[in-house]
Amino acid sequence: MIAAMQMKGALLYVAGVLGHCWCLQAQTPVPPTATPTSRFLSLYERIAQREKEEPGYLRRSATEFKEVSNAAWLAAKWKCAVTVFETPTTAERKGGPPEELELERGANGDVFELKRSDDRVTRTAFLFFDPRAHRWVAPMGDAAAWGALTAERWQGTTLVLTGRVSIMGSMTELRQTITKVSERNYTILNEEQAPDGRLVRLDWYDCAKTSN
């Protein structure tokens, strides 16, 4: 009799535990279904998609052709005198003999630098306008300096380019201001942005036209 009562009590206890567990399970909220992530579109897929959404975006508009014309005056031969500004530990100094620079415009209005050596002529991009990104780009591409500076638009006769570049193995946040002073003169001011946001003057190019 006692054994039967103990068995009954045990069964009731098990039934109670199972019932409690069932209630907890029933009350547990169902997690929301995760939103499926969109598939990664590769470079050429993104280009094709943009061309579909913006037909003709790869072609320059009339406004952009006008923007490109702002740099037409650069196509000439120049001599640039360089001044390196003083620092807390170094004096101001001149950069040696004037640097000679020969620039020409390409068929689409971009500006290229020509370098002549004996009977060879090399042509490298100096300043161009990207109609897709709607930005001016000044590339650097040799062992001494590499990277690219960009700007949105000319502001009157001034173009302010910025970017992170490497100069003589040192990475710097560079700000370069090109200013057309006259038809026969332009200047370039290079400044470095310090970590606190200050602009520190680096050097100054004063360029005079020698021929068209």
Mean pLDDT across the chain, nearest whole number? 85
For residue 142, pLDDT over 90 is answered with no
The per-residue pLDDT for 35 is: 63
pTM over 0.85: no
The per-residue pLDDT for 212 is: 84
Predicted confidence band of residue 54 (pLDDT cuts 50, 70, 90):
confident
Q: What is the average pLDDT across 133-142?
A: 93
The per-residue pLDDT for 4 is: 40
pLDDT in tens, 98-116: 899 999 999 889 999 999 9
User: Domains of the chain (ranges plus CATH)?
Assistant: 59-211 (2.40.128.20)
Beta bridge partners of 82: 205
**Is 207 buried (19+), middle (13-18) or exposed (0-12) by CB count in 10 A?**
buried
For residue 53, pLDDT over 70 is answered with yes
Nearest in space to 60 (alpha carbons), one of 105, 125, 109: 109
For residue 156, pLDDT over 70 is answered with yes
For residue 184, pLDDT over 70 is answered with yes
